[in-house]
A and B are shown apart, each in its own frame.
Chain A
Amino acid sequence: MAVQLDDAVDKRAPRIGKGGAPPSGRATGTRRTRTGRATPYLLLLPALLATAVFLGWPMVRNILLSFQTLNMKELIQHLTVWNGTGNFGEILGGEEFWRVTLRTLVFTAVNVTLIMTLGVLIGLLLARLGKKMRLALSVALVLAWAMPVIAATTVFQWLFDSRYGVVNWVLDQLGWHSMAHYDWVGTQLSTFFVITLLIVWQSLPFVALNLYAATTTIPKELYEAARMDGAGTWKVFTTVTFPFLKPFFLATTFLEVIWVFKAFPQIFAINKGGPDRLTETLPIYAFTEGVGNLHFGMGAAISLLTIAVLLAVTAYYLRLTLKQEEDEL
């Protein structure tokens, strides 16, 4: 969840530069010494260097690896065996990759739809509540939000435990007796159900709290005017709230897509992509092939294809942001 609303902050910086004092560079440009001119680069050097070494190089290495055969034997003997586009041919020619890709896309779509719809509803509810109730719900949301992923995953495993899990007990009490000792990680659909519940539970607070915070920035007059014109709740949402918060919706949906698409610990820790590798999404698939089955070349190729799919899914928003940045930087 580290990828936050980055463009959030971007817009503040230039505004102050333009509104307040003139940018320092131009103001002092004529008097600047040689060291003065080098200062920004020196200040940025550590950050850029670290990015190049710890992000740039792994990325390059990933590309190189994807064109190599690198299994157990090559790994132990430190051999470099190039095999051209062999890995990609094998992956794209097989059925498994496409099946996993489709599964990942459906999984992402279902989760993001649930998160955005319910998150917006909870956010709007927060705006409607009284002070005390709002605080109570906010604290509950923050607790769920702050819960570390692995801890939450472990708790969900316990909640859905087949023998003593509280979920099965409740379902049994409600009259669904076949659920008494139900094994939730036994089938593909039920495992996905638990994972989805976990991910939605974890992501809703972010969307709900931020949406509520954003609605407080909408001028009250707009609502009053809409009400005066006789608009109902739904009409007010579609004509005032939504248009006003469109950038927020775009940014949040984008973040959630990335976050769900890349979800690793939740799926891996619940059942390692099982049963029978049926809940593997692309990141898990790359991991299992590469590190698990020691086909590092294949794994690297899958991870590159995974990045390509993710880029394709988010292309619309990326283009939009880049265009905006061009104008505003």
Chain B
Amino acid sequence: MKRSLAGRIWPNATAIVLAIGFVFPVYWMFNTAFKPTGDIISDVPVWFPLHGTLQHFATAVGAPDFWTLAGNSVLVTAVAVGLSLLIALCGAFALTRMRFKGRKATLLVFMVAQMAPWEVMVISIYMIVRDADMLNSLVPLTAFYMLMVLPFTLLTLRGYVAAVPKELEESAMVDGCSRRQAFTKVVFPLLAPGLMATSLFGFITAWNEFPLVLVLNKEPAKGTLPLWLSQFQSQFGDDWGATMAAASIFAVPILVLFLFLQRKAVGGLTSGAVKG
């Protein structure tokens, strides 16, 4: 179908404007992080970091407890996501490959759990953790993060488990594998891409989590990076260069992960949303 010149120009023009609009905040974060302070607090914005400097990154990384907090974040996220993948995979396998009494009810439990309003439950969680005398510990934080991502992980993995042809598993069992062997040798390798795509959302959730750590781990060295970043600006006065460097350090792992995995993620999310 032929379209008029105007009909071809306006979608592209709109797309360019939109692309700039969506990228600009991200760009401005990096731009500010690399600019010398003189260029940041200037009356006319400096659009490109022509006099690039790493000084702000040095300030951010040199902030008290930075490495401890970064370590905390990595540890809590990795353990929470790893555990939830493991637990969810077992559950997903049972729910897709086996028929048993209470299957429907179990599914319902996880669907409801997925909608849990964690943001408004911080008060009771605070009381529970305090009564257990575990405030400022990474253990409860990890446990709750694990559960925040568990229902989603489990429900999503079901689709990936179901997509592995049952015949493969059965023929492995005919060839003398036990059910467990059939799983580890045949099903698991086929599940790897699904596990990766699913874990992306777990990583993002755990890495970004803010309300709970805000309440539970008030001790400066016991927090995670989101807490650090949210308090960075007030601690460093209005040092926007260092604040943006801190934000960049925090954002880069997720941005990289996302760019690599997003194709799979979008496909995985939508493949069943529309009933064909």
Contacts and interface: CB of A to CB of B under 8 A. Distances in A.
B205 A59 contact: no
A151 to B, nearest CB: 4
Given A147-B26, A155-B247, A40 B155 contact: no
Contacts, number: 355
B211 to A, nearest CB: 5
Range, interface on chain A: 35 or more
A325 B22 contact: no
A9 B158 contact: yes
B87 interface: yes
B275 interface: yes
B254 to A, nearest CB: 5
A252 B243 CA distance: 34
B95 A148 contact: no
Contact of A9 (B43, B44, B156): B156
A55 interface: yes
B178 to A, nearest CB: 12
* Interface SS, A side: helix
* Interface SS, B side: helix
B15 A125 contact: yes
Given A6-B111, A147-B251, A20 B165 contact: yes
Range, interface on chain B: 35 or more
Interface stretch (A89-97, A105-113, A185-193, A298-306): A298-306
Contact of A164 (B41, B91, B248): B41
Nearest to B262: A142
Contact of A125 (B11, B41, B230, B266): B11
Interface in B106-128: 106-111, 113-117, 119-128
A67 interface: no
Interface in A20-76: 20-21, 23-26, 37, 39-41, 43-44, 46-48, 50-51, 54-55, 57-59, 61-62, 65, 70
A18 to B, nearest CB: 11
Given A62-B121, A287-B119, 16 more contacts: A44-B106, A50-B150, A55-B116, A59-B121, A59-B124, A133-B16, A136-B19, A148-B254, A150-B208, A154-B244, A154-B246, A213-B267, A214-B274, A265-B210, A282-B120, A307-B117
